[in-house]
Amino acid sequence: MDGWRAQYFPILADFVRNSGQSGRLETEPLRQQLSGVPIDDILEHHEESVKFLLSYADSEDRMTFVHRSLLFITELLLALRLPEAAAASDGMYAEHLLKVIHTPPIEEERPNKFETVLQHMDSGVALFDGAGNLRFLNVQMSRMLQAPRKSLIGSTLFQLFFHRNLRLPIRRMFLRMYKEMTLYRRFHGEFQDVNGRCLLVSISKMEELDGDYLVSVKDVSEYKQIEQSALQNDKLAMLGKIAAAIAHEIRNPLTSIRGFIQLLNPFLKEVGKEEYGRIILSEIDRANDIIFEFLNSSKPSDPMKQKVVVGMLLKETIMLSESEALMRGCELHCEVFDPDLTVAIDVKQVKQVLLNIVKNALDAISEVKEKRKGRIDICARREGKYALISIRDNGKGMERAILNRLFDPFFTTKEAGTGLGLSVSSRIICNHGGTIEVDSTVNEGTEFMIYLPFAEGKE
Q: Say whether both 40 and 94 belong to one domain.
A: yes
Q: Is 446 part of any domain?
A: yes
Q: Say whether both 279 and 199 belong to one domain.
A: no
Report yes or no: 442 and 399 within 8 Å, Cβ to Cβ: yes
Among 158, 192, 219, where does a domain finish?
A: 219
CA distance 135 to 125: 11
CA distance 152 to 332: 66
- Comparing CA positions, the residue from 416, 420, 449, 419 lying closest to residue 435 is 449
Give mean pLDDT, residues 392-405: 87
Q: Say whether both 325 and 388 belong to one domain.
A: yes
Q: Is 107 part of any domain?
A: no
Q: Is 458 part of any domain?
A: no
**CB within 8 Å of 439: residues ≥ 6 apart:** 446, 447, 449
Domain at 438, CATH number: 3.30.565.10
The pairing of beta strand 124-128 with beta strand 198-206: unpaired
Report yes or no: 182 and 48 within 8 Å, Cβ to Cβ: no
pLDDT of residue 413: 77
Q: Which helix (H) or strand (E) holds 391?
A: strand 386-393
Give mean pLDDT, residues 412-419: 71
Q: Say whether both 327 and 389 belong to one domain.
A: yes
Q: In percent, how much of the chain has pLDDT > 90?
A: 12
Q: Which helix (H) or strand (E) holds 211?
A: none
Q: Say whether both 323 and 429 belong to one domain.
A: yes
pLDDT-derived band at 436, boundaries 50, 70, 90: very high
Give mean pLDDT, residues 11-27: 64
Residue length, the chain? 459
pLDDT at 25 over 50: no
Q: Say whether both 141 and 186 belong to one domain.
A: yes
DSSP designation for 311: H
The whole-model pTM stands at 0.43
Rounded to the nearest integer, the mean pLDDT of the chain is: 77
Q: Say whether both 282 and 316 belong to one domain.
A: no
Interval 87-110: pLDDT, tens:
333 445 445 444 544 444 445 455
Q: Is 250 part of any domain?
A: yes
Q: How many domains does the chain have?
A: 4
Q: Say whether both 252 and 332 belong to one domain.
A: no
Among 69, 101, 133, where does a domain finish?
A: 101
Q: Is 391 part of any domain?
A: yes
User: What is the residue range of 346's domain?
Assistant: 306-453
Lowest pLDDT segment from 24-28, 82-86, 145-149, 194-198: 82-86
Angle, helices 62-80 vs 3-17, to 10°: value is 130
Q: Say whether both 419 and 385 belong to one domain.
A: yes
Distances (CA, A) of 255 to 96, 261, 420: 105, 10, 23
Among 280, 298, 316, where does a domain finish?
A: 298
